[in-house]
Amino acid sequence: MQFKLKYLLLFLIVLISVNSTAQKSKRQVLEARRVQLQKDQIYINALLSNTIRTEKNVLNQLKDLDDKINTREDLINAIENESNELGNEIYLNQLEINKNKRALEALKKDYGEMIYSSYKSKSQNSRIMFLLSSKNFFQGYKRFQYMKQYTAFRKKQGDEIHIKTSELQTLTDSLQVKKDQKKKLLDVQRKQQSDIEKEKKEQEVLLSKVKQKENKYKKQIKQFQREESRVAAQIDKLIRAAIVASNKKSGNTSRTASTTFALTPEAKELASKFELNKGKLDWPVEKGFVSTFYGKQPHPIVKSTTIQSNGVRITTNDGSKARAIFNGTVLAVQVMGGNKKMVYIQHGNYITVYKNLENVFVNTGDKVTTKQEIGTIFKDKITGKTILSFVLTNNAQTLNPATWIYRM
């Protein structure tokens, strides 16, 4: 029975230790996420603070506030998750402290009883008399060995008390550190909540302006959508023309000749490598954040209006360069409205399109490599923003870039 109890206790100690390590590892992940979000927030706030604030730009101001609030809410959620995990660690740490306190008390009690017993024995007989009173040499030797073992055991017990005391102090210090960390996290969380409240009040003021002239802003959104649709049609037309040309060149006349690129063995290998890097592809800018995601969605401000995005819009720093997300060949360079430019890069049967460039550094037919700069991104003079529009297609079918690019 005692044997089973011993191993059950050992199992519980190991389980607590493993759980504590796992908890620590999980919190490290949560801490890294929170730190990254704090960096993102600083960057986004700095980026959006440069937005030109005019009556014409109310929708952009509201979108900026929306992005700031969303970033703060993400950070608050990350802080809450990390704080909860830290709370679990504090609880487990306290359990360990309680266990060590009980073990230390038991050791001290045993040690005290042993010292008292030793004192009593010393008061009755001296060690020498204890040895001399032996009946024979063998008994004397055994008594001598016993005295040595007893002394060693007393020393061991004293050392164990010292170790346990030290462990207890370390755990107590660690507990205080964790409590301080949690307090700091909660202070940051309260500050973020306070900032969100201020931003939401500012947002309400701007929203009231939008509601007063909602029809006007709906027209602005529809006009923007018409331009986006026109550019999307332009992209689709060029890619389909390139598909037909590739099949004509290869002599392919099958039913797929108008919808699928005819690929050389080299192009097939490139497409295969592109696919293998799904979810790991580089960003088309060195630094930035996604301000409009892919697909059909309600307008972030005028919720009654739906917008369609065939790619993503990435807000970045003034003067930023667009970069190729993977090795490929420049399929085309087109001029958009307002003398802005658009670069198409082919990666086998995948095409990446980089829109809203002020000037470009590549020409049709050029080979490009991953992260190679292909052009300077245009800065809007009205909003003061530098935004790259990025589209990804498989043949002529648009894809969601967020599933292909690393942590988009």
Kindly state whether residues 201 and 304 are assigned to the same domain. no
The pLDDT tens digits for 183-219 are: 998 898 999 999 999 988 988 888 888 888 888 888 8
- Count of alpha carbons within 13 angstroms of residue 223, beta-carbon side: 6
**What does the DSSP 8-state code read for residue 253?**
-
Q: Which structural domain range is residue 112 located in?
A: 2-212
Kindly state whether residues 315 and 398 are assigned to the same domain. yes
In a domain, 202, yes or no: yes
Kindly state whether residues 132 and 56 are assigned to the same domain. yes
Between CA 112 and CA 126 the distance in angstroms is: 20
- Judged against a pLDDT cut of 80, whether residue 114 lies above it is answered with no
- Judged against a pLDDT cut of 90, whether residue 56 lies above it is answered with no
Number of domains in the chain: 2
Between CA 388 and CA 318 the distance in angstroms is: 11
Kindly state whether residues 320 and 195 are assigned to the same domain. no
Kindly state whether residues 51 and 192 are assigned to the same domain. yes
In a domain, 236, yes or no: no
Question: Taking residues 154-170, what's their average pLDDT?
Answer: 70
Query: What is the per-residue pLDDT for 181?
Result: 87
Kindly state whether residues 167 and 313 are assigned to the same domain. no
pTM above 0.85, yes or no: no
Query: What is the per-residue pLDDT for 11?
Result: 47
Kindly state whether residues 25 and 139 are assigned to the same domain. yes
Between CA 264 and CA 390 the distance in angstroms is: 26
Query: What is the per-residue pLDDT for 12?
Result: 46
Kindly state whether residues 269 and 207 are assigned to the same domain. no
Question: Taking residues 228-257, what's their average pLDDT?
Answer: 92
Query: What is the per-residue pLDDT for 124?
Result: 44
The pLDDT tens digits for 376-402 are: 999 998 888 999 999 999 999 999 999
**Which one of 131-135, 171-175, 267-271, 380-384 scores highest in mean pLDDT?**
267-271
